[in-house]
Structure formats: structure tokens, C-alpha cells
Amino acid sequence: MHYERAGDQFGAWVVAGLPLNQANFAVLPPHFVDNNSVVVAAALDVTFPAFAKVASMRGTLAHGLVSLVHHFAYVVDNLPAKYIIFGSPIFRHPLMLEALKVQLAGTTS
């Protein structure tokens, strides 16, 4: 029973049609090199002021933030301009976005 959760995840990947026999199947999700860097911590504080002070939430918040940074162009291209997410700091402060892009793991920019 210890491995049942992993089996469920693998089954979902198969059903989703992910490329099981290719190296990119094992690619990690987007993540920051260091969730505790000054840049990431400041962005979390500005983006999620009510929750950023809760230590147990910081990892979850960082995961959400890094997903927005990684998929930024897609979000901008595919959501209506009046969508509420465009009011969040990451969309209003291009310098913060650029600083966070540098913090992405596996990027050279």
C-alpha cells in the first residue's frame, strides 16, 4: 500500500498521454533555484501579503508564483486583458518579473 499513490500518479500520466519513453517525461516542474532568495522572498511578500508571513505556506506560494513566472507569456497571450490576475504585482511590475525569471532553475537568462 506504500506505493499506491505513486501508481495512481503514473496511471494518470499514462492516461494523459505523456511521452513515457522520452527523457522529458521525467522533467521537474518549474521551480526557483532558491525559494529563500531575497528576490523570491520579496516577491512573495508583495504578491501574497496576507499569507507570506505563514511559514508553512511559503513553499506553496512559491510554487504558484514560479508557475506564473514560467507561463507568463502564455497567460498574457491567452487570457482576456481584463482578467483579474493582471492586477497582481507580477503583471504590474516588469522589473520584478525579470528578476524572478533569473531565479528560475534551468534558465540562462
Per-state percent for the chain, helix, strand, coil, to nearest 5? 60, 0, 40
Amino acid residing at 59: G
Tens-of-pLDDT digits for all 109 residues of the chain? Answer: 466 666 667 777 778 777 778 776 677 788 999 999 999 999 999 999 999 889 999 999 999 999 999 999 999 999 999 999 999 999 999 999 999 999 999 754 4
pLDDT for the residue 2 = 60
Q: DSSP string of 71-89?
A: THHHHHHHS-TT-GGGGSH
Cα gap 53→95, rounded to integer Å: 23
Kindly state whether residue 6 falls inside one of the protein's structural domains: no
Please check whether residue 13 lies inside any domain of the structure. no
Neighbours of 71 (CB within 10 A): 12
Reference 72, options 56, 90, 54, 60; nearest CA is 90
In-domain check, residue 8: no
Q: How many structural domains are present in the chain?
A: 1
pLDDT of amino acid 40:
96
Asked, for residue 24, whether it belongs to a domain, the answer is no
CA distance 72 to 79: 11
Q: How far, in Å, CA of 4 to CA of 14, rounded?
A: 15
pLDDT at 15: 82
Domain containing 62 equals 29-102
**Which pLDDT does position 21 carry in this prediction?**
80
**What confidence score (pLDDT) does residue 1 get?**
47
Alpha carbon 24 to chain centroid, angstroms: 18
